[in-house]
């Protein structure tokens, strides 16, 4: 089955700096890699995702990169703002099978 690791578990950055969260996966058949943001007391929200046929995807200040050979993918947040503070989860799945989440990264953006 799939196994997803996520690092770091906690991350503190100064407002305006960039934040990078990395995930590795084990199942080479995985082809869909979403990232979720969960603010305190709220449900998760999909913020960006990437499929195995592309290496990078960007949406304003958020980008995700995928290296299928090395089986890792990363979330990049630029120009961080206090409202980016949350727990971020990565996940990997093969068309909904073996849908496994990483343990999460608590990001704190310090003003």
Residue 107 found at the interface with another protein (CB under 8 A): no
Query: At its nearest, how many Å lie between another protein and the CB of residue 76?
Result: 20
DSSP per position, 21-77 = EEEEE--TT--EEEEEEE-TTS-EEEEEEEETT-SEEEETTEEEEEETTTTEEEEEE
- Residue 107's H or E segment, with its range, is strand 105-110
Question: Which residue in the set 12, 16, 39, 51 belongs to the binding site for another protein (CB under 8 A)?
Answer: 51
Residue 111 found at the interface with another protein (CB under 8 A): no
Query: At its nearest, how many Å lie between another protein and the CB of residue 31?
Result: 7
C-alpha–C-alpha distance, residues 6 and 95, integer Å: 21
Q: Which residue stretch of 37-45, 59-67, 68-76, 77-85 sits at the interface with another protein (rule: CB under 8 A)?
A: 37-45
Contact 32, 92 (CB under 8 A): yes
Applying CB under 8 A, the residues found at the interface with another protein are: 31-32, 34, 36, 43-46, 49, 51, 89, 91, 93, 95-104
């Amino acid at each position: 089955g799939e196994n997803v690791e996520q690092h770091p578990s906690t991350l503190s950055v100064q407002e305006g700096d960039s934040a990078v969260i990395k995930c590795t996966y084990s199942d080479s058949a995985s082809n869909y890699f979403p990232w979720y943001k969960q603010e305190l007391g709220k449900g998760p929200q999909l913020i960006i995702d990437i499929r195995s046929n592309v290496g990078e995807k960007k949406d304003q200040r958020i980008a995700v990169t995928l290296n299928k050979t090395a089986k890792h993918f990363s979330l990049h947040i630029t120009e961080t703002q206090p409202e980016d503070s949350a727990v971020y989860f990565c996940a990997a799945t093969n068309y909904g099978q073996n849908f496994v989440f990483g343990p999460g990264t608590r990001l704190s953006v310090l003003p």
